A and B are shown apart, each in its own frame.
Chain A
Amino acid sequence: MLRQIEGSHAIAESVARCRPEVVCAYPISPQTHIIEAIGVMVKEGTLAPCEFINVESEFAAMSVSIGASAAGARAYTATASQGLLFMIEAVYNAAGLGLPIVMTLANRAIGAPINIWNDHSDAMAVRDSGWIQLFAETNQEAADLHVQAFRLAEELSVPVMVCMDGFILTHAVEGVDLLDQEQVDRFLPPYEPRQVLDPEDPVSIGAMVGPEAFEEVRYLAHLRQLDALDRIPEIAAEFSEMFGRDSGGLVRPYRLEDAETVIVAMGSVLGTIKDAVDERRDAGERLGVLGITSFRPFPLEAVRQALAGRERVVVVEKAFSLGMGGVLATDVAMAIGTTTLHTVVAGLGGRPITRTALLDMLERARTGRLATLSFLDLDEGVIARERARMATVRRSGPFAENVLRDLGRPREDQA
């Protein structure tokens, strides 16, 4: 039943219907509404049996989830940004131990400077951790992906992170059709752990593994990710067949048929991009969009097929690797080989990605003026002044502060 609902609440209800048994909560914006809502459900008894644990840090949140999962419980938590980084050691550990924890990542920038708004830097920081990372374009997809995530995680004994853009999705009220309990139960069988801490069958979990076997352990984990490349579309197909709705999968093509230029992106920005593409398509430009749903495992083959023979690929991404460039773009580059590839870094720290800016960028691409790496809506003036200052003052101090000071100062040249 379609309902107008805040994204966070949609996720909370969706997760609740997955019958999580241990849920850890540590507040960090913009994930808080999800956890708050689950907390209410546990406290009022509508979600039971479930242990809702208010932990003292994200590190503890993931650690409690590890313990709960290893002891055979379906475990869920949510975080964002700094929180993800604070738990990062445990994030790797959960994957290493093969524990099928599901976590919502309400994507948010990473400081300093501290910034609560959306980008994908947090998700990129753990891309090598061994977690499956699925990116939702809409709240509908986010809600559906959580149901699929538990199924996927538990089938493969791999933790799954459902990434949704902080505020843009989490705090957006829009129509979402949530599966009811009966539907979820039909799709998601009870958790049967691959291994469990049990006095009747004692095992030691978490051994120290040296050079003699570590590489094999890692390779096996990689193969498990490759297994996911098969299972993700299968599960999405099953979901679609059961509920009549396309959610998930590896990639999401849009108007690719005859596209010469393809924009690649992840998350909610795809909606804006599609609007921009539609506008220019109307003007006769042959543009298409490829949304990446499964960032890890990265669907190299699907991306290759989608982008094969295109004239130009533009990756618009909300994160980048300092000193290198695009993160998603690097992966895309690996898939497409020689096609001209542009990386457009956009929306960092929550900066709006406007249709205007996108159209401007596409125009530059068409006319060959788009750099290999560019930053959407970058204030070149600020950059130039700070660079100049840094060149003259050897110890120029933290440039973030300088930039703020610079932006706050009334300036003749801008007046």
Chain B
Amino acid sequence: MDRPFAITLDVGTSRANHTGSWRIERPVYVDRLPPCNDACPAGENIQGWLYHAESGDYEAAWRTLVQENPLPAVMGRVCFHPCETACNRVQVDEAVGINAVERFLGDTAIERGWSLPAPGPDTGHTVLVVGAGPAGLSAAYHLRRLGHAVRLVDSSPRLGGMLRYGIPAYRLPRTVLDAEIDRIVALGVQVATEHPVLDIEAEQRAWGADAVFLAVGAQLGKRVHIPAGDSTKVVDAVSFLHQVADDDPPLLGRRVVVYGGGDTAMDAARTARRLGATDAVIVYRRNRDKMPAHPEEVEQALGEGVTVRWLSTVERFEGGRLVLERMRLTPDGLPEPTGEYDELDADALVLALGQDTDLSLLEGAGAVTVSNGVVEVGHQMMTTQPGIFAGGDVAPSERTATVAVGHGKHAARGIDAYLRAETPARPERHALASFDRLNTWYYADAPRTRRPELELVRRQTNFEEVVRGLTEDNALFEARRCLSCGNCFECDNCFGVCPDNAVIKLGPGERYAFNYDFCKGCGICARECPCGAIEMVPERI
């Protein structure tokens, strides 16, 4: 049509005006490290796998998860989830139930028979892994993925280490443990059980291994001297739990006292209850606030009828009677004796006072430095002797299964670099996605889902799993509570709030790009990004 001059204008003409020249700051998309990922000892990309779980793509979620950790069903039960402690959502309502979703994914994988990624191309190298606990299993898995042959040896008849012999079945059903171990072994791990290693170097030579990962754990229960009469029964908790796991529980009687305040003490007391003890009493020298056991464990133990004698130490044990000394806390929180005593009837005393490592196998390996009962390791978990790596409870750590899994992964990567004679590149670590970078307005209010628990009466009589899994609906709900801190989750906010239509939506999974021809640098996109994945940076002049 013949348009009147100047007064009438054609569509699309404003695009000739590149308003990007007004800009003094430009928005850029960033990925920041979510606090959950930051806190995970196993180095899981939690935000990454929750992203897939949110859309109900559990297989993709699980596949992302097992990039780092081959034992999600196990860790979804036994991990004390520092991720949830770090979770930014704590400051909105409650932490995302990461652990529960992890377990859901792990269980779903077992149920549907998903297999781990195939091993990498054969490198011709062989690595000896000593100890088939979480660290050893993790290392074996990651080494296989890197293409190395793995010899996995363990002194026990079955694989799993402390997962099997330390953690009671009511917390970790053996079918679950077996399924995840079998999946690792199926990657072509050569296994030798009931194979104690007495000399690490000899063992290495025997297998023709190019490197060793030492992960024998801390299997020795610490003992203290307690005057005890001949007829008394005193056992250490590690041995006690090991025997129970072997289906050969010792007879402890009806009144069992557990001495100690850690998770092993809780496990021992709760196991004793299940074995028929009417009284399972924990004696602990400090108060509940100072107790090292995880609060959930304590809560569950108390719920099952376990009682605690706070601020008490065991003085002596004689004739079915324990003598306890009352303690009080100094202003520094340390226990000190009061000189006052109580008595407590007991058939058996279980000592849960910590564990030591048995490092006698290192005697031939002179260059490995041991201090304070643990092996010194450096970057990538290598000991002071090149080619020998160590991890899990034998290395300095918090001694949790999750830390062990992380050690196994790091050691595998370290071993791989060592075998390739490369200096391992440290992956770039993104800046933390702290809470103050979030715009929490956009997240719907959603308190967390509780995992259902087994009825109390059933818990006291059998080893059925206490904490149940989430239903799919609940797992989905829980996954969707993730704030996706510091990582774009394609909420379209930037695309929608730009007054200049200067955000290009690239499509599902592709995120967005800025059209700097038109972006004026107002900063609304960054301000309104829920997860803090946009930063304003000064414009280059």
> Does B421 interact with chain A (Cβ within 8 Å)?
no
Find out whether the CB atom of A216 lies under 8 angstroms from the CB atom of B3: no
Cβ contact within 8 Å between A216 and B5: yes
What count of chain B residues pass the 8 Å CB interface test? 11
Q: Which residue of chain B is the closest to A209 with respect to CB atoms? A: B6
CB distance from B5 to the nearest CB of A (A): 6
- Is A157 an interface residue, CB under 8 A from the partner? yes
> Considering the chains assembled together, what is the distance between the CA atoms of A220 and B3 in angstroms?
13
Query: Which of B7-15, B154-162, B434-442, B478-486 forms contacts with chain A?
Result: B7-15
A205 to B10, CA, bound (A): 9
Contact with B along A196-229 (1 / 0, CB 8 A): 0000011111110100011011001000000000
B7 contact from A201, A202, A206, Cβ within 8 A: A206
A217 close to B1 (CB less than 8 A) = no
A203 and B6 contact, CB distance less than 8 A: no
B15 CB to closest chain A CB (Å) equals: 14
Indicate if A195 sits at the interface (CB-CB under 8 A): yes
* Further contacts, 18 of them, CB under 8 A, given A98-B4, A207-B8, A220-B5: A96-B7, A98-B7, A194-B2, A195-B1, A195-B2, A201-B1, A203-B3, A203-B10, A204-B8, A204-B11, A206-B7, A206-B8, A209-B6, A213-B5, A214-B6, A216-B5, A217-B5, A217-B7
Closest to A202 in B: B11
Q: Which residues of A contact B8 (CB under 8 A)?
A: 195, 203-207
Residue of A nearest to B10 (CB): A203
Query: Who on chain A is nearest to B2 by CB?
Result: A194
| Complex: A214 Cα to B1 Cα, angstroms | 22
Chain A interface residues toward B at CB < 8 A: 96-98, 157, 194-195, 201-207, 209, 213-214, 216-217, 220
Between A and B, 14 residue pairs with Cβ closer than 8 Å are A194-B1, A194-B4, A195-B2, A201-B1, A203-B1, A204-B9, A204-B10, A204-B11, A205-B8, A207-B7, A209-B7, A214-B6, A216-B6, A217-B5
Cβ of A175 to closest chain B Cβ, rounded Å = 42
- A266 CB to closest chain B CB (Å) equals 30
Name the A residues within 8 Å of B1 (CB-CB): 194-195, 201, 203
Partner of B3, one of A195, A209, A213, A217: A195
CB distance from A71 to the nearest CB of B (A): 14
A205–B5 alpha-carbon span in the complex (Å)? 10
Residues of B within 8 A of A214 (CB): 6
B92 CB → nearest A CB, Å: 45
Task: Specify the chain B residue showing the minimal Cβ separation from A217.
Answer: B6
Q: Which of A96, A97, A207 contacts B9 (CB 8 A)?
A: A207
A206 to B4, CA, bound (A): 10
Q: Provide the bound-state CA to CA distance between A213 and B10, in Å.
A: 16
Residues of A within 8 A of B2 (CB): 194-195
Q: Are B9 and A203 in contact (CB under 8 A)?
A: yes
Pick from B2, B3, B4, B6 the residue with the most CB of A within 10 Å. B4
Most chain B CB within 10 A, of A195, A213, A214, A216, is at A195
Complex Cα–Cα for A270 and B4 (A):
38
CB distance from B10 to the nearest CB of A (A): 6
- Closest CB in chain A relative to B3 CB, distance in Å: 6
CA distance A207 to B4 in the complex (A): 11
Name the residue on A nearest B11 (C-beta).
A202
A213 proximity list for chain B (CB < 8 A): 5-6
Sort A-B residue pairs by CB-CB distance and give the 7 closest, nearest first.
A213-B6, A204-B9, A209-B6, A207-B9, A217-B6, A205-B8, A202-B11
By a CB distance below 8 angstroms, the chain B residues around A204 are 8-11
Residues of A within 8 A of B5 (CB): 213, 216-217, 220
CA–CA, A335 to B221, complex, Å?
122
Minimum C-beta distance from B308 to chain A (A): 77
Q: What is the bound-complex CA distance between A368 and B3, given in angstroms?
A: 55
B339 to chain A, nearest CB (A): 94
| Residues of B contacting A201 in the complex (Cβ-Cβ under 8 angstroms) | 1
**With A194-B1, A195-B1 in contact, is A97–B6 under 8 Å at CB?**
no
The CA-CA distance from A214 to B4 in the complex, in Å, is 13
CA distance A180 to B468 in the complex (A): 92
Q: For window 1-41 of chain B, which residues contact chain A by CB distance below 8 Å?
A: 1-11
CB distance from A167 to the nearest CB of B (A): 38
Complex interface: chain A residues within 8 A of B3 (CB): 195, 203
Cα of A207 to Cα of B7 in the assembled complex, Å = 5
Q: Which residues of A contact B9 (CB under 8 A)?
A: 203-204, 207
Chain A's nearest CB lies how many Å from the CB of B16?
14
- Cα-based distance from A213 to B8 in the complex (angstroms): 12
Expressed in whole angstroms, the Cα–Cα distance for A207 and B11 within the complex equals 12
